Chain A
Amino acid sequence: MPTPEQLAIDRRAPLRVSVWQVRWRRFTDFTRRYARNRMAVIGLLIVLTWVVVGLFAPWIAPYGYDKTNYNAANQPPSFAHPLGTDALGRDQFSRMIWAARTALIVAPTATVVGVVLGVFFGLLAGYFGGWIDEIVMRLSDVLFAFPGLLFALLLAATLQPRLAAWLSQFERIKPWVRAGYVEFFVVVIALSLVGWPGLARLVRGQVLSLREQQFVEAARALGVSPWRIMWQHIFPNALPPVIVALSMSMGSAVVAEASLSFLGIGITPPTPSWGAMIYNEFASWRSPSAPWLLWAPGLAVAALTFAFNFIGDGLNEALNPQDRLT
């Protein structure tokens, strides 16, 4: 707390406070608080590294992801092929790099779609209550009744061929279907449909306790509209758990995508995916065995998952002004 002397000095200074000064101070505060958490910074670096790797895959990867070379099949690691080659002679190191794209497209989109749905329905259900609440919560109960991965599997398995067949009628879209975009779309839909009910419940619970808070009543007394109360007063206060959940589900979406691909339902070859690569090694009776083909994609999935979780923790601390040290 400033002393009276400090106040007096401040008062004499000319008053100039711009909107941008306020915003800039908030932003620098936020980055400073985030940087205080070392694991969060490491997590961010890991994710950024994978993003860069994914973005520049064509330049970083020594070979194309579907480039076969039957003369160099089933090779152990060497200088030409750091992670060896598979039965079709494809360079595994290059496929690892290309697969970062798959993971970083599917996991964030699925999570963001899921979180947007969850936050929207959770806020509606919690704030307005009544029949809106009933409908949203019963729907989420129904979705909750299925085991998550199984439901995603079911959705992906039934949706994918039908959607692909239907879209193939259109000449213009056909090449995209061939290129495997439908698979991406279906996996994203399946994972976000599995993800939103949990978030909706979380947000609803937060809203139910927040809407009784006195500052919400104060906002009503001031004449703030319900919509604005929802987004300006309740939503930011419900954010920390949502952000933690977002990062956690980002991590678990990476795992879920890998699992679906491992089971052969998600992203299918030749499009590379870490899950499918693990399956490939699992399914081939290769002798001598090639453990690096399991380890490399497995570690990649684990690193990305951990990184997302660390980021979540860091964001949570940085966004919570109560924990702020003066």
Chain B
Amino acid sequence: MSQGDVLLDVQGLKMYFPITEGILIQHHIGDVKAVDDISFTVRRGETLGLVGESGCGKSTTGRAVLQLYRPTAGHVYFDGVDLTTLKGEELRRMRRRMQMIFQDPYASLNPRMTVGDIVGEPLEVHGIAKGKEKLDRVAELLEVVGLNPYFVTRYPHEFSGGQRQRIGIARALAVNPEFIVCDEPISALDVSIQAQVINLLEDLQAQFGLTYLFIAHDLSVVRHISDRVAVMYLGKIVELADRNELYENPLHPYTQALLSAVPIPDPEIEAQRQRIILKGDVPSPVNPPSGCRFHTRCPVVIDVCKEVEPEFKDAGGGHYVACHLVH
């Protein structure tokens, strides 16, 4: 995989969801700070894995990057164009270059459209192909993702989860995008099917030179597919490094705790493995802790963590981390 220039540059992205009170007059009483000031880049042709536990803002980040949610603050440069400044028709045309694969293959396909209509729709709305030409292209796409082209006249409910996910992938590929946000594309699938879909995504990347932002909570899958990995905790990226560097030399205590939870398929090693068990629950994103957001649960917390927010910076060799113990 070529590690070329930067395709996606996210700077200071914030996504707050307002909480309001009152019936007629809405009072703004706070925000859910789902994503709070994160920055990262994705290079052309690479896969950036985004991991973290449920509710840490991974999916929100993916959606805010694609402008499905309009970010509260920050910039998203896609191939040099700031997506946050685009509106309406301009943004719609830009969507031809960036697509999304959704987590739930049951909810993300319109139950009243045939597979042919679902996969063909992006071709139509972007004026790429119509009529017979469209059907040919749809058949071709179905074959690319390993589905029988004769399925075009069927409805989504006639398929299994894995097949539906393939339909979703074919739909995302229809417009020949450069960048795809994969929002936990395998979480809803059986383990036996997960490998198939992962392999399909890898094959497609090699074939079409795709760039992925791969959101997942399965650390082994992320390790398998990603070139670089970012770890999120409570709306912040706490660590970002090359895959091998991150898995072999995790610097942030949260990353260490996460990785220690991955089981090893060898009973002898597994018996001796040291696990770091975090105490307590993830704090509310409405009112996050002061200083370092992880200080309430950190096993190696020091005084400065409670007061000062650690800076997210390079600890050498492109290994970014936000921790006072490192810097």
Contacts and interface: CB of A to CB of B under 8 A. Distances in A.
A10 B153 CA distance: 14
B85 to A, nearest CB: 17
Contacts of A213: 107
Interface in A232-270: 232-233, 236-237, 239
A2 B171 CA distance: 22
A233 B110 contact: yes
B108 to A, nearest CB: 4
Contact of A15 (B95, B149, B168): B149
Nearest to A233: B110
**Which of under 10, 10 to 19, 20 to 34, or 35 or more describes the interface residues of B?**
35 or more
Given A225-B92, A322-B157, A324-B155, 13 more contacts: A1-B159, A11-B148, A15-B150, A18-B132, A26-B114, A215-B108, A218-B108, A218-B109, A222-B171, A223-B96, A233-B113, A236-B113, A321-B112
B125 A222 contact: yes
Contacts of A221: 66, 68, 95, 99-100
Contacts of A21: 153
B102 interface: yes
Nearest to B174: A222
Contact of B107 (A22, A214, A228): A214
B196 interface: no
B180 to A, nearest CB: 10
A149 B110 CA distance: 39
Given A1-B160, A17-B139, A223-B125, A237 B112 contact: yes
24 contacts: A7-B148, A15-B149, A17-B135, A17-B139, A17-B150, A22-B152, A22-B153, A26-B114, A214-B104, A215-B111, A217-B68, A218-B168, A219-B110, A222-B95, A222-B99, A222-B175, A223-B93, A223-B94, A223-B126, A223-B175, A233-B110, A236-B112, A237-B110, A321-B112
Interface string B107-149: 1111111101000011001100001100100010000000011
A71 interface: no
A21 B152 CA distance: 11
For the complex of A and B, 9 pairs with smallest distance between CB atoms: A223-B95, A214-B107, A215-B110, A236-B112, A214-B108, A221-B100, A223-B92, A222-B122, A218-B108
B158 interface: yes
A18 B135 contact: yes
A67 interface: no
In this complex, the interface size class of chain A, counting residues with CB under 8 Å from chain B, is 35 or more
A213 B156 CA distance: 15
Contact of B125 (A17, A224, A239, A326): A224
A19 interface: yes
Contacts of A219: 110, 121
Contacts of A286: none
A26 B116 CA distance: 13
Contacts of B126: 223
A15 B135 CA distance: 10
Contacts of B111: 215, 237, 321-322
Interface in B168-195: 168, 171, 175
Nearest to B138: A17
A218 B111 CA distance: 13
A224 B66 contact: no
Contact of B158 (A7, A19, A326): A326
Contacts of A162: none
Interface string A203-220: 000000000011101111
Most buried by B among A219, A236, A239: A219
Contacts of A1: 159-160
A2 to B, nearest CB: 8
A225 B122 CA distance: 11
A222 to B, nearest CB: 5
B131 A19 contact: yes
Contacts of A322: 111, 157
A25 interface: yes
A244 B139 CA distance: 36
A15 B68 contact: no
B143 to A, nearest CB: 9
Interface in A283-326: 321-322, 324, 326
B116 A22 contact: yes
Contacts of A17: 116, 135, 139, 149-150, 152-153
A52 to B, nearest CB: 33
A30 to B, nearest CB: 12
